[in-house]
Amino acid sequence: MIMKITLIYDNEVYRKGLRSDWGFSCLVEVEDRPRILFDTGANGGTLLDNMKKLDIKPESIDEVFISHDHWDHVGGVPDLLKVKPDLKIYVPESYGSKGNNIVRIKESIEIHENMWSTGELSGIEQSLVVKTERGLVVIDGCSHPGVGNILRAASQFGRVYALIGGLHGFREFDLLKDLELVCPCHCTQHISEIKRLYPDKYVEGGVGRIIEL
């Protein structure tokens, strides 16, 4: 099963001509599955501008997966709904907004074949888990519940191969030793340390970065 992840919103720019900003969003494309936008960054204008430059049409998004209800991850939702009002949005149970298109998730659940939510962890955040031929790919927003808790929750579905997303102040670097790919983005404070410890696993993030698995 082919998987492609395109970073649309991040603190840094990977490809010239795109706009960086505090927040996170990426497009998750899996063969024969709906196209899922993971988080929406802080600003809808920046999100849509980067999508246009990356040749990603908002109308082509099938679903949105929100990791947690913080401004830098949900800011683009209103602008997306202006373009596609019936967009299905998976949110953690603690998400504040209401709407007929919102699907609230509390416990771990398979949202599509070989695609899961970890469920809302620590009452704040869910992560997306996708099974590929190489193993599980975990995409997270900020790792508020802790990277260890997220990896344990994902491991119920198999062996974790890759971790992509924001890791905040994460310093338990040994937790990454069994992974084969790590792409720390957004709020990660110790990117340089992760790169130094795991040069063969480390993948640079930034807006415009495309990861194919």
What's 86-128 look like in SS3?
Answer: CCEEEEECCCCCCCCCEEEECCCEEEECCEEECCCECCCECCE
What are the pLDDT digits (tens) for 138-192? 999 999 999 999 999 999 999 999 999 999 999 999 999 999 999 999 999 999 9
Q: What percent of the chain has pLDDT over 90?
A: 97
- The letter for the amino acid at 79 is D
Q: What average pLDDT does this structure show over 125-133?
A: 97
Q: What average pLDDT does this structure show over 200-209?
A: 98
CA distance 18 to 54: 8
Q: What average pLDDT does this structure show over 87-110?
A: 95
* Mean predicted lDDT score pLDDT of the chain: 97
Q: What average pLDDT does this structure show over 200-212?
A: 98
pLDDT of residue 97: 87
Higher pLDDT, 55 or 98: 55
pLDDT of residue 98: 85
Pick 3-212's CATH classification: 3.60.15.10, 3.40.50.2000, 2.40.10.10, 1.10.8.870: 3.60.15.10
Cβ–Cβ under 8 Å, residues 18 and 207: yes
pLDDT of residue 2: 85
CA distance 179 to 200: 11
pLDDT of residue 137: 98
What are the pLDDT digits (tens) for 62-76? 999 999 999 999 999
Q: What average pLDDT does this structure show over 51-70?
A: 98
pLDDT of residue 158: 97
User: Is 80 exceeded by the pLDDT of residue 61?
Assistant: yes
| HSE, side-chain direction, 13 A CA sphere, residue 177 | 5
pLDDT of residue 187: 97
Domain boundaries along the sequence of the chain: 3-212
Q: What average pLDDT does this structure show over 2-9?
A: 96
User: Is 80 exceeded by the pLDDT of residue 1?
Assistant: no
CA distance 33 to 74: 23
Closest CA relative to residue 154, chosen from 140, 141, 165: 140
pLDDT of residue 5: 98
CA distance 129 to 161: 10
